[in-house]
């Protein structure tokens, strides 16, 4: 981890024998994380002894990812751009078993949360994480949070360039950045590797699309001011093409303008989306460009050698030379409907001939979305070693990915996943629900979300029915903060408290792709008991109205909200 600021020179480091396509800590990284663990150990001891009050301790624990939730502390562990190797996942499994309740929860920002750590053991957990080059720094607070990315980075057939290279460069720049450690509000950056958005970048404070310009140069399209929460906005494109070497100076210019104009008087108006909205896109862009002009040719300009050095960490693994045929897979597809469904829904084409990307659904019927047991984590780590060069990815939709699996190994992989309860063939289908922890865990929540998700998956458990419905994204949040991304769900569900009772608003027509749109509220809300029936009515209406293979979102865009409203409220 190196730091870049106007006052510091760029100082990236050379990889040392990295066997896997991921960044490896050097001595400075190790020292920094180790020092932070020791510092937090002392802070915890002072808090436990009473030397420090909770008011004094709270910002310090939050800087280390430790929250106090409804029932216990919660530790949020950073998973930079959703990339893990098998030893890291085994460590997460071990921590879950040794210090928590033998499970973890993957979040929409590709992080992992433990729901039951003890304060007194948290320094030990952080020390365990440091052993595998992980930490919880900047997973909370008004700073630049974990950089998220396209989960198929380095594997997708349509990728322009591996976005993790740029995520890592941004991570190094933003880690403990002295100018941006106390922003008006938290700040989230996401990068997707192509012009298709697989990382919901348009609902981030800054969203970057890798892009090729007319002359073949590779750079970024820059969106600013996206976000969900109580005032949702789709990000505005403020630059169609930014050369790669100018990435950090341009980000710095955006952050500087935000740091100056962002409101600190009202927490609910402090995100950059409000700054962009109130300033106006044109004026905000002008201010950024003006700032950028002054700093673009400083030490922030990325030298080619440094870009190449970081890129070397993400060099592709040594794929076998294959001819692309897959007779074992194809024979089983023909003979085994369960396997055929899994291949159809959970695997994608890979850029290397003969390989597939394999998604592992963490959405079993009737269970909390994104939860995974320590035993399952260990198994996925073993499978990553056996089938995917030791690499694992976390998706913002709360699933896992083995990014590099030979097509001929898919059958064996599926058997091992299915035996561990990880063989659900529902990625991208209705039961692949994004869901926040809600009022079962979260101190901010106003209603439960997990029970709504489990009831929906139970109602729509039949595989044939799921596949008939096709692509469908249901997203559930337990409060207006929208951690469950309900604004951009094809069907979005927001839990609210109404006179002490849980109530749910339904909105439809949202999407989080490169054509991101915000859903519109259907009408009056519903009780928890009514929600699943409402979802079913929406789905039935779609099935009546769709033309051919038309997806739900396309039908909605063609017919509008009215037919759904009439069916749900019986107002025809």
Partner 1 sequence: MSQVVIASRLSDGRVVFLSKDAVEGAVVWASSLAEAALADDDSRAEEFLALSEADMLERHEILDPYLIDVVMENGEPRPTKNREVIRCFGPTVSQDFGKTSEGARP
SS3 assignment, position 393: strand
Rounded to whole angstroms, how far apart are CA atoms 452 and 504?
Answer: 10
Q: Which stretch binds partner 1 (CB under 8 A): 5-13, 48-56, 251-259, 465-473?
A: 48-56
Looking at the Cβ atoms of 31 and 48, the one nearer to partner 1 is 48
Q: CA 7, 1, 205: angle at the middle one, nearest 5? A: 75
Closest CA to 477 of 365, 369, 552, 359: 369
Interface with partner 1 includes 48 (CB under 8 A)? yes
Strand 347-349 versus strand 355-360 pairing type: antiparallel
Residue from 245, 349, 497, 513 touching partner 1 (CB under 8 A): that is 497
Looking at the Cβ atoms of 95 and 202, the one nearer to partner 1 is 95
Looking at the Cβ atoms of 98 and 118, the one nearer to partner 1 is 118
Cβ atoms of residues 512 and 203 within 8 Å: yes
Interface with partner 1 includes 311 (CB under 8 A)? no
What is the side-by-side strand order in the sheet with 73-77?
A: 66-68, 73-77, 112-114, 103-106, 371-373
Distance of CA 465 to the CA centre of its chain: 28
Interface with partner 1 includes 376 (CB under 8 A)? no
Structure tokens at 553: 């979102």
SS3 assignment, position 207: strand
Looking at the Cβ atoms of 48 and 461, the one nearer to partner 1 is 48
Interface with partner 1 includes 136 (CB under 8 A)? no
Q: Which stretch binds partner 1 (CB under 8 A): 45-53, 162-170, 243-251, 255-263?
A: 45-53
Residue from 195, 297, 308, 501 touching partner 1 (CB under 8 A): that is 501
Interface with partner 1 includes 297 (CB under 8 A)? no
SS3 assignment, position 350: strand
Residue from 25, 26, 39, 73 touching partner 1 (CB under 8 A): that is 73
Interface with partner 1 includes 450 (CB under 8 A)? yes
Q: How far is the CB of 92 from partner 1 (least distance, A)?
A: 18
Count the alpha carbons within 13 Å of 330 in the hemisphere toward its beta carbon: 5
Q: How far is the CB of 58 from partner 1 (least distance, A)?
A: 9
Looking at the Cβ atoms of 73 and 319, the one nearer to partner 1 is 73
Closest CA to 268 of 186, 179, 182: 186
Looking at the Cβ atoms of 375 and 440, the one nearer to partner 1 is 440
Closest CA to 472 of 417, 535, 533, 391: 535
Q: Which stretch binds partner 1 (CB under 8 A): 26-34, 68-76, 286-294, 455-463?
A: 68-76
Closest CA to 66 of 18, 133, 32, 115: 115
Cβ atoms of residues 472 and 430 within 8 Å: yes
For residue 78, the 8-state DSSP code is P
Interface with partner 1 includes 529 (CB under 8 A)? no
Q: What is the CA radius of gyration of the chain?
A: 23
Q: Total residues at the site for partner 1 (CB under 8 A)? A: 31
- Identify residues 91-120 at the interface with partner 1 (CB under 8 A): 101, 115-116, 118-120
Rounded to whole angstroms, how far apart are CA atoms 427 and 420?
Answer: 17
Handedness of CA 158, 160, 162, 166 (dihedral sign): negative
Residue from 27, 54, 323, 549 touching partner 1 (CB under 8 A): that is 54
The number of residues in the chain equals: 572
Interface with partner 1 includes 307 (CB under 8 A)? no
Structure tokens at 348: 């994608």
For residue 503, the 8-state DSSP code is E
Q: Which stretch binds partner 1 (CB under 8 A): 44-52, 139-147, 227-235, 386-394?
A: 44-52
Residue from 6, 31, 35, 71 touching partner 1 (CB under 8 A): that is 71
- Identify residues 162-201 at the interface with partner 1 (CB under 8 A): none
Interface with partner 1 includes 25 (CB under 8 A)? no
Q: How far is the CB of 73 from partner 1 (least distance, A)?
A: 4
| Tokens 């913002």, located at residue | 396
Residue from 17, 500, 548, 570 touching partner 1 (CB under 8 A): that is 500
Residue from 375, 385, 408, 440 touching partner 1 (CB under 8 A): that is 440
Residues at the interface with partner 1 (CB under 8 A):
47-50, 54, 68-73, 101, 115-116, 118-120, 368, 439-441, 446-448, 450-451, 454, 497, 500-502
């Amino acid at each position: 981890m190196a730091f870049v600021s106007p006052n510091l020179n760029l100082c990236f480091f050379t990889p040392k024998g990295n066997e896997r396509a991921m960044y490896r800590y050097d001595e400075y990284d190790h020292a920094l994380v180790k020092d932070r663990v020791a510092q937090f150990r002392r802070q915890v001891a002072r808090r436990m002894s009473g030397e420090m009050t909770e008011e004094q301790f709270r910002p310090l624990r939050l800087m280390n990812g430790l929250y106090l939730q409804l029932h216990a502390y919660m530790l949020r562990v950073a998973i930079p751009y959703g990339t893990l190797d098998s030893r890291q996942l085994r460590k997460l499994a071990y921590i879950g078993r040794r210090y928590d309740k033998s499970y973890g929860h993957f979040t929409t920002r590709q992080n992992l949360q433990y729901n039951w750590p003890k304060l007194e053991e948290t320094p030990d957990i952080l020390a365990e994480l440091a052993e595998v080059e992980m930490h919880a720094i900047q997973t909370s607070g008004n700073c630049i949070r974990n950089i998220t990315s396209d989960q198929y980075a380095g594997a997708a057939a349509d990728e322009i360039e591996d976005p993790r290279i740029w995520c890592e460069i941004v991570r190094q720049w933003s880690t403990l950045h002295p100018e941006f450690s106390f922003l008006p509000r938290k700040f989230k950056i996401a990068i997707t590797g192509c012009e298709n958005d697989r990382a919901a970048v348009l609902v981030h404070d800054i969203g970057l699309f890798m892009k090729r310009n007319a002359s073949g140069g590779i750079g970024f399209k820059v969106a600013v001011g996206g976000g969900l929460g109580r005032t949702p906005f789709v990000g505005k494109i403020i630059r169609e093409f930014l050369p790669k070497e100018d990435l950090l100076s341009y980000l710095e210019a955006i952050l500087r303008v935000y740091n100056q104009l962002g409101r600190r008087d009202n927490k609910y108006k402090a995100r950059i989306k409000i700054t962009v909205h109130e300033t106006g896109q044109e004026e905000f862009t002008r201010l950024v460009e003006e700032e950028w002009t002054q700093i673009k040719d400083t030490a922030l300009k990325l030298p080619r050698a440094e870009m190449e050095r970081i890129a070397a960490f993400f060099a592709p693994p040594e794929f076998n030379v294959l001819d692309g045929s897959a007779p074992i897979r194809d024979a089983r597809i023909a003979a085994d409907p369960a396997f055929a469904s899994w291949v159809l829904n959970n695997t994608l084409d890979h850029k290397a001939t003969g390989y597939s990307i394999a998604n592992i659904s963490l959405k079993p019927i009737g269970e909390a979305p994104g939860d995974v047991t320590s035993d399952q984590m260990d198994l996925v780590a073993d499978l990553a070693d056996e089938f995917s060069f030791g690499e694992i990815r976390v998706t913002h939709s709360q699933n896992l990915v083995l990014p590099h699996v030979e097509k001929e190994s898919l059958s064996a992989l599926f058997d091992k996943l299915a035996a561990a309860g990880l063989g659900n063939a529902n990625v991208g289908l209705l039961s692949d629900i994004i869901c926040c922890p809600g009022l079962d865990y979260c101190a901010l929540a106003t209603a439960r979300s997990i029970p709504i998700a489990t009831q929906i998956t139970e109602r729509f458990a039949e595989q044939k029915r799921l596949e008939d419905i096709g692509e469908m994204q249901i997203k559930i949040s337990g409060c207006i903060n929208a951690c469950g991304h309900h604004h951009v769900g094809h069907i979005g569900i927001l839990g609210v408290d109404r006179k002490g009772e849980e109530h749910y608003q339904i909105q439809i027509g949202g999407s989080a792709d490169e054509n991101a749109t915000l859903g519109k509220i259907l009408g009056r809300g519903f009780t928890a008991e009514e929600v699943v029936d409402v979802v079913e009515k929406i789905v039935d209406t779609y099935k009546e109205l769709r033309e051919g293979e038309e997806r739900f979102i396309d039908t909605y865009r063609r017919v509008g909200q009215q037919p759904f409203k009439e069916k749900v409220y019986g107002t025809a």
